[in-house]
Amino acid sequence: MSGPDKPKVIGEEWSDERVKSYLDLTPWDRNINADYFVLSRAYEAMRAEDFERFIAFFIEANRDLNAEDERGNTILDRVAQHRRSVDYARALQNAGAKRKAAAGT
């Protein structure tokens, strides 16, 4: 969060350790798929290039790139809905992520 007392940080470098630390996140609700939760949090927090690095670590850790949320959507379904997330969607697709929801729903 930025504001007058906390300036916005632009161009901050993320180390591999910081990127990998998202693998350790756990959902607060046991009904939430842990892999989807981690992907979602990384998508929300990281720049596209850091997210792409994260995906490589995620796959290396044998995590499920096509994990679903409580409505049956994959992270690619979610990312594909956002016009400014083309680079994130491309990184997911290049890593083998699939859309589960029908296009346009």
What is the average pLDDT score of the chain? 88
Structure confidence at residue 5 (pLDDT): 56
Tell me the mean pLDDT in the region 19-39: 94
Domain count, the chain: 1
Residues of the chain with pLDDT > 70, as a percent, come to 85
Residue-wise pLDDT for 57-92, tens only, equals: 999 999 999 999 999 999 999 999 999 999 999 999
In this structure, is residue 8 part of a structural domain?
no
Q: What is the DSSP letter of 10?
A: -
In this structure, is residue 80 part of a structural domain?
yes
Tell me the mean pLDDT in the region 39-52: 95
Helix (H, G, I), strand (E, B) or coil at 44: helix
Q: Residue 75's closest CA among 62, 60, 61, 91?
A: 91
- Per-residue pLDDT band at 11 (split at 50, 70, 90): low
What pTM was estimated for this model as a whole? 0.82
In this structure, is residue 69 part of a structural domain?
yes
In this structure, is residue 105 part of a structural domain?
no
pLDDT tops 60 at residue 8: no
Range of the domain at 47: 16-94
In this structure, is residue 102 part of a structural domain?
no
| Contact yes or no for 37/73 (Cβ under 8 A) | no
In this structure, is residue 30 part of a structural domain?
yes
In this structure, is residue 66 part of a structural domain?
yes
In this structure, is residue 2 part of a structural domain?
no
Tell me the mean pLDDT in the region 10-17: 80
What's the first-to-final CA gap in the chain, in angstroms? Answer: 32
Amino acid letter at 19? V
Alpha carbon distance 101, 105 (integer Å): 7
